[in-house]
């Protein structure tokens, strides 16, 4: 019998390149029999298979097309079509506008378009996009990252997880995260850049976003190379009174 909890498993959260013990951004979000691969950063397809095979996924959701969030779609494509996996149907893939063309141009090695649709059933996201995937409801909002980028709220049976993707602090993320049980929020920047050039959160921003949204719990992720996880959590905690964790790779958080 499947449970109704919402589970978040961290496959990796390094940026902008994987470390020896931490792949780039990728998460498995599951509830009962429903499983979604959220961001497919470099190195995440390996640990994903500790939990689920590609042909058992209900969907893949991609925040934006920077390689540290999407590069393993390329190897997943080969896995889905040219190895031991037999897909009953293409895997539903939600991602930014243009995602199918970007994958096709990388994978095509003849003048013909690659058979991307054989592996993935692509739906392009837009601000406010909603989708039901198994027992999970997804709401995506456009966020501020300098390229098309999205955050997502994933809900089931009154439990909610919001993932920032990559973004500067922005009203759409705060609105999306309002009253959520868990906010999984990036803290990439050691310090804020010049005004108008910000595309990430500092740890203080991360704490502020969680506080303003009234999140029940904050999980700090995507900590950049000029911060340690300990520093990021300590700095975020100065701006958020609730419980805070770091998205350590391999950890599963249960919500609800």
Q: Binding to Zn ion (CB under 5 A): which residues in 72-131?
A: none
Using alpha carbons, select from 162, 148, 82 the residue that is nearest to residue 114. 82
Give the interface segment with Zn ion, choosing from 4-12, 59-67, 75-83, 156-164 (CB under 5 A). Answer: 59-67
Q: Which backbone phi and psi does 73 adopt, to 5 degrees?
A: -65, -30
Nearer to Zn ion, 136 or 232 (CB): 232
In the complex, least distance from residue 114 CB atom to Zn ion, rounded to whole angstroms: 24
Query: 225: which 2 tokens?
Result: 């190379």
Binding characters for Zn ion, 153-172, by CB under 5 A (x = yes): -------------x------
Nearer to Zn ion, 66 or 239 (CB): 66
For residues 25 and 224, what is the distance between their CA atoms, to the nearest angstrom? 12
In the complex, least distance from residue 250 CB atom to Zn ion, rounded to whole angstroms: 22
In the complex, least distance from residue 222 CB atom to Zn ion, rounded to whole angstroms: 8
C-alpha distances out from residue 134 to 32, 57, 130, Å: 9, 10, 13
Q: Which of 9, 43, 44, 66 binds Zn ion (CB under 5 A)?
A: 66
Nearer to Zn ion, 72 or 166 (CB): 166
DSSP class of 233: H
Nearer to Zn ion, 38 or 54 (CB): 38
In the complex, least distance from residue 143 CB atom to Zn ion, rounded to whole angstroms: 10
Distance of CA 1 to the CA centre of its chain: 27
Give the interface segment with Zn ion, choosing from 52-60, 61-69, 75-83, 211-219 (CB under 5 A). Answer: 61-69
Query: What is the torsion angle, in degrees rounded to the nearest 10, for the CA atoms of residue 180, residue 185, residue 190 and residue 192?
Result: -70
Nearer to Zn ion, 15 or 30 (CB): 15
In the complex, least distance from residue 150 CB atom to Zn ion, rounded to whole angstroms: 11
For residues 61 and 40, what is the distance between their CA atoms, to the nearest angstrom? 8
Q: How many CB atoms neighbour CB 199 within 10 A?
A: 16
Residue 136 and residue 156 in contact, taking contact as beta carbons nearer than 8 Å:
yes
> Which residues form the interface with Zn ion (CB under 5 A)?
66, 166
């Amino acid at each position: 019998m499947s449970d109704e909890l919402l589970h978040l498993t961290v496959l990796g959260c390094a940026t902008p390149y994987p470390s020896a013990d931490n792949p780039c951004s990728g998460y498995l979000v599951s509830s009962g029999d429903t499983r979604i691969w959220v961001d497919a950063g470099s190195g995440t397809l390996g640990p994903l298979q500790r939990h689920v095979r590609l042909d058992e996924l209900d969907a893949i959701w991609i925040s934006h097309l920077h390689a540290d969030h999407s590069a393993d779609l390329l190897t997943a494509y080969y896995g889905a079509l040219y190895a031991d996996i037999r897909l009953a149907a293409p895997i539903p893939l939600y991602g930014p506008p243009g995602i199918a063309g970007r994958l096709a141009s990388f994978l095509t090695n003849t003048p013909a378009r690659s058979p991307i649709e054989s592996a993935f059933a692509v739906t392009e996201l837009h601000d406010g996009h909603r989708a039901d995937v198994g027992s999970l409801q997804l709401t995506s909002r456009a966020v501020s990252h300098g390229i098309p980028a999205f955050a997502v709220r994933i809900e089931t049976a009154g439990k909610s997880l919001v993932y920032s993707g990559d973004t500067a602090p922005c009203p759409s993320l705060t609105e999306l995260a309002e009253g959520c049980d868990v906010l999984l929020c990036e803290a990439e920047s050691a310090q804020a850049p010049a005004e108008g050039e910000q595309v990430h959160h500092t740890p203080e921003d991360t704490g502020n976003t969680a506080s303003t949204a009234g999140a029940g719990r904050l999980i700090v992720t995507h900590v950049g190379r000029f911060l340690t996880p300990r520093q990021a959590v300590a700095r975020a905690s100065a701006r958020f009174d609730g419980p805070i964790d770091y998205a350590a790779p391999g950890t599963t958080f249960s919500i609800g």
